[in-house]
Amino acid sequence: MVEPPRGATPPSAASPDPAATGAQAAAAYLRQLLLRPGRYRRKWEQYSERSRQGQINQLAVADVLAHYLWEHPRNSGDSDVLPRQLKDTSSRALSGKLLSKSALALFMDAFDLDALERDQLMKLWEGSARVRVLSGPVGIRDDRARGLGPPKYRTLSLHDHHYLGPDGFPVRHRNLQVIEALEDGIDRVLYRADTNAVAVEVLQGAYGLGGPVRQIGDGMFAVDMLLAKNLTAGETATLEYETSFHYSVRPSPEFRRIVVISLENLDIRVQFHPDSLPRAVVWAVWDGMDGPIAESEPVELDAQFAAHRFLRVAQRTVVGFHWDWLR
């Protein structure tokens, strides 16, 4: 589930190996799943005599893998493999040093990961230099994600294109979103924004808006977009919609995308007017929904005065662009 916005990297001397990048990204996500309070963590903690904050007991994880192989052997010798024999496998996999596809499959099966988490892990493992999966200190809190309840649909792709005018004010924002229903009877998509000073126009995929914009929290507003066709589980729909802004004062010099649960294929583009260019632009990761910038990376504008970034997968994070004005 995603929330609408609030408010080319310089080439390196050597490109990272895509396979290594994918394995490391998948390993990082796997570590987050095993550290997060819940059934995955409890599964390995039952074999751990003591646990340290923020650390995974590698031998306990190896115990989980061994117990699974005893009941579901894949090769000769699996039926009597000892946990200590799998400790190096566990360590190399979780560190990202050596996470093969078969090792990843073993972890997913042994810990009985959910279908969505399996899907995300495989996409990460397949590799992309633009993959970001964030949680914890720079992500969305567990209570925030849980409070939304189970998602009824997921976003397969989202194009976020943000345009600023000659005065530096946001003028319009265009979205192209592809969703997939996770259950039968999906007839609407909830659009959220952090200001009521907007007009939303549906261009395709929906036949209108389900009532007026309503306040759903402190500074947060929402409106339903009524789908042109009710979706059954597995069906997809493409939505195109545009937001216009009417700010009375110039907002903060940033564009942020809040991903509360998960989002695939996120394309963010911010285009500046040639009469009002920024002094500097950075790609930023914020420390949660209300925190400061935790990570930043300089960005060069292209020939159309736009900053652009594509993420293969984004999960429980706040990302976007921040800039400083010349004046």
Dist. CA 151–CA 175, nearest whole Å: 20
pLDDT of residue 39: 85
pLDDT of residue 60: 92
Cβ–Cβ < 8 Å for 272, 302: no
pLDDT of residue 8: 30
Give, for 18, the enclosing helix (H) or strand (E). helix 18-35
pLDDT of residue 80: 86
pLDDT of residue 224: 86
Cβ–Cβ < 8 Å for 231, 183: no
pLDDT of residue 220: 67
Cβ–Cβ < 8 Å for 181, 296: no
Nearest Cα residue to 301 out of 264, 273, 327, 265: 273
Dist. CA 176–CA 165, nearest whole Å: 21
pLDDT of residue 290: 79
In DSSP notation, 24-93 reads HHHHHHHHHHHHSTTHHHHHHHTT-S---TT---HHHHHHHHHHHHHHS--STTGGG--GGGGHHHHHHH
Going from the C-alpha of 152 to that of each of 47, 233, 285, the distances in angstroms are 35, 9, 27
Q: Is the model's pTM score more than 0.95?
A: no
Listed in sequence order, the DSSP H helices in 136-265 are: 142-146
Nearest Cα residue to 94 out of 85, 102, 103: 103
As its CATH architecture, domain 2-9+142-325 has Sandwich (2.60)
Domain ranges of the chain: 2-9+142-325, 18-128
pLDDT of residue 146: 45
Q: What is the mean pLDDT of each run of 10 residues along the chain (327 residues)?
A: 42 38 78 80 87 80 93 87 89 85 91 81 65 44 50 89 90 92 92 68 86 68 88 94 78 89 88 95 89 92 95 87 89
| Burial environment of residue 26 by CB neighbours within 10 A (0 to 12, 13 to 18, 19 or more) | buried
